[in-house]
Amino acid sequence: DVKVTQSSRYLVKRTGEKVFLECVQDMDHENMFWYRQDPGLGLRLIYFSYDVKMKEKGDIPEGYSVSREKKERFSLILESASTNQTSMYLCASSFGQGAREQYFGPGTRLTVT
């Protein structure tokens, strides 16, 4: 079974803090994704990566950055957390090209106070 794990299920941070969300997949997938999920808005892509050290902006990259130093790990960084970044963050991975399904982690619910 493909497993995508995220470092925390729940996280509470203060405004202005630097926040790291970690995602690890165990199936040697090339592609990894970070989404945020908000009620009524569905999932919106923040960043994705199709190879180590490669990254591409998604639809809402402002206020976020990412790091992929190893194939299995994809980190989302909030340089200076703000209250409007309070959300559910979902990581996903997929294998190579073609119509491959994305496998999702359980999510991290981040609250910024």
Partner 1 sequence: AQSVTQLDSQVPVFEEAPVELRCNYSSSVSVYLFWYVQYPNQGLQLLLKYLSGSTLVESINGFEAEFNKSQTSFHLRKPSVHISDTAEYFCAVRSPRQGAQKLVFGQGTRLTINP
Q: For strand 103-104 and strand 87-94, is the pairing parallel, antiparallel, or unpaired?
A: antiparallel
105 is a site residue for partner 1 (CB under 8 A): yes
Indicate which single residue of 25, 75, 85, 102 sits in contact with partner 1 (rule: CB under 8 A): 102
CA distances from 50 to 22, 65, 97 (A): 17, 15, 10
Is residue 84 classed as helix, strand or coil in its secondary structure? helix
The Cα–Cα gap between 38 and 51 comes to 27
User: For residues 35 and 64, which CB has a smaller minimum distance to partner 1 in the complex?
Assistant: 35
User: For residues 51 and 79, which CB has a smaller minimum distance to partner 1 in the complex?
Assistant: 51
The Cα–Cα gap between 82 and 112 comes to 6
User: For residues 48 and 74, which CB has a smaller minimum distance to partner 1 in the complex?
Assistant: 48
Q: How many residues bind partner 1, per CB under 8 A?
A: 24
Smallest gap from Cβ 18 to partner 1, in A, equals 25
Beta pairing partners, 64: 78
AA identity, residue 25: Q
User: For residues 58 and 63, which CB has a smaller minimum distance to partner 1 in the complex?
Assistant: 58
Interaction residues for partner 1, span 17-76 (CB under 8 A): 31, 33, 35, 40-45, 48, 50, 58
